[in-house]
């Protein structure tokens, strides 16, 4: 009888020990947000759930956000910022809570989502002519401050005129700054070339 009791105890305990997970030598552990906490090890970030299981493995493309208690990647509206370098220029996008890329790395800068909306710098390319001597097309690059939804669709252009830019690592050593701000659920503050602010209303895309 004793052997049966011991065997049953072993059978019940084995799953507990097998399922337990110990994560050691961490450099940083963030507060939970959207049910996930960012952890740092060897200069890479991962995410754990509230049971302590790693749900997004350690990777080097997660973008930290500056908070009062430290700098770390975070999920808002089930979206987290990622960054990829192409020709030494940074491009930003978003993953979901499974680690899948939902919005490709295409923006020159991007902010965290707030109420299912984020401000990003949308890059465009415009053909303006051709260099017959070199046999190359001449293009002009501009970026716009726009708002997007959690699927990456543009909701509103905050700077309709846009800003000219050069896609060169010497010119874009750091991402261009996002100057527009969301100041309420329905209002944005736009910083102009005259160094003054303009307040505009949010467009309700459901009514377009």
For residues 47 and 120, state if they share a domain. no
For residues 123 and 169, state if they share a domain. yes
- The 10s digit of each residue's pLDDT in 134-154 is 657 778 899 999 999 999 999
Residue 193 in any domain: the answer is: yes
Residue 5 in any domain: the answer is: no
Residue 8 in any domain: the answer is: no
- Give the pLDDT band (50/70/90) at residue 10: very low
For residues 122 and 207, state if they share a domain. yes
> Comparing C-alpha atoms, which of 161, 158, 200 is closest to residue 183?
200
For residues 128 and 59, state if they share a domain. no
In this predicted structure, the answer to whether residue 207 has a pLDDT above a threshold of 70 is no
The pLDDT value recorded for residue 200 is 95
CA distance linking residue 64 with residue 71, whole number of Å: 5
CA distance linking residue 104 with residue 139, whole number of Å: 23
For residues 63 and 157, state if they share a domain. no
For residues 200 and 122, state if they share a domain. yes
Count of beta carbons in the 10 Å neighbourhood of residue 182 = 18
Residue 144 in any domain: the answer is: yes
In this predicted structure, the answer to whether residue 4 has a pLDDT above a threshold of 80 is no
- Give the pLDDT band (50/70/90) at residue 132: low
- The 10s digit of each residue's pLDDT in 175-192 is 999 999 999 999 999 998
- Give the pLDDT band (50/70/90) at residue 39: very high
Specify the number of domains making up the chain. 2
Mean pLDDT of 5-18: 41
Residue 104 in any domain: the answer is: no
- The 10s digit of each residue's pLDDT in 61-118 is 999 999 999 999 999 999 999 999 999 999 999 999 999 999 999 999 999 999 999 9
For residues 208 and 113, state if they share a domain. yes
Residue 143 and residue 163 in contact, taking contact as beta carbons nearer than 8 Å: yes
The pLDDT value recorded for residue 158 is 97
The mean pLDDT of the chain is: 87
Q: Is the pTM of this model over 0.75?
A: yes
Residue 11 in any domain: the answer is: no
**What is the span of the domain harbouring residue 63?**
26-75
- Give the pLDDT band (50/70/90) at residue 18: very low
In this predicted structure, the answer to whether residue 5 has a pLDDT above a threshold of 60 is no
CA distance linking residue 42 with residue 57, whole number of Å: 13
For residues 142 and 201, state if they share a domain. yes
Residue 91 in any domain: the answer is: no
For residues 127 and 206, state if they share a domain. yes
Residue 80 in any domain: the answer is: no
Residue 62 and residue 36 in contact, taking contact as beta carbons nearer than 8 Å: no
For residues 204 and 157, state if they share a domain. yes
DSSP labels, the chain: -HHHHHHHHHHHHHHHHHH-----S-SEEPPPBTTBEEEEETTEEEEE-TTS-EEEEEES-BPPEEETTEEE---BTTBEEEEEEETTEEEEEEE-TTS-EEEEEEEEEE---SSS-EEEEEEEEEEEEEETTTTEEEEEEEEEEEEE-TTS-EEEESSTT-EEE---TTT-SSPPPP--EE-SSSEEEEE-TTS-EEEEEPP-GGG-
């Amino acid at each position: 009888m004793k052997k049966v009791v011991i065997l049953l105890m072993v059978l019940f305990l084995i799953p507990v020990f097998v399922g337990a997970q110990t994560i050691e030598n961490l450099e940083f552990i963030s507060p939970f947000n959207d049910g996930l906490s960012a952890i740092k090890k060897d200069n890479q970030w991962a995410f754990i759930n509230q049971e302590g299981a790693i749900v997004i493995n350690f990777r080097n493309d997660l973008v930290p956000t500056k908070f009062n208690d430290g700098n770390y990647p975070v999920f808002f509206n089930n979206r987290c910022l990622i960054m990829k370098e192409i020709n030494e220029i940074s491009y930003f996008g978003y993953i979901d809570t499974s680690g899948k890329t939902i919005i490709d790395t295409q923006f020159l800068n991007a902010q965290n989502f707030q109420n299912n909306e984020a401000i990003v710098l949308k890059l465009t390319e415009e053909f303006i002519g051709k260099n017959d001597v070199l046999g190359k097309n001449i293009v002009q690059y501009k970026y716009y401050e726009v708002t997007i939804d959690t699927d990456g669709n543009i909701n509103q252009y905050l700077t309709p005129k846009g800003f000219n830019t050069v896609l060169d690592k010497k010119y874009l050593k750091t991402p261009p700054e996002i100057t527009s701000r969301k100041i309420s659920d329905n209002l944005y503050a736009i910083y102009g070339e005259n160094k003054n602010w303009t307040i505009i209303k949010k467009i309700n895309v459901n009514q377009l």
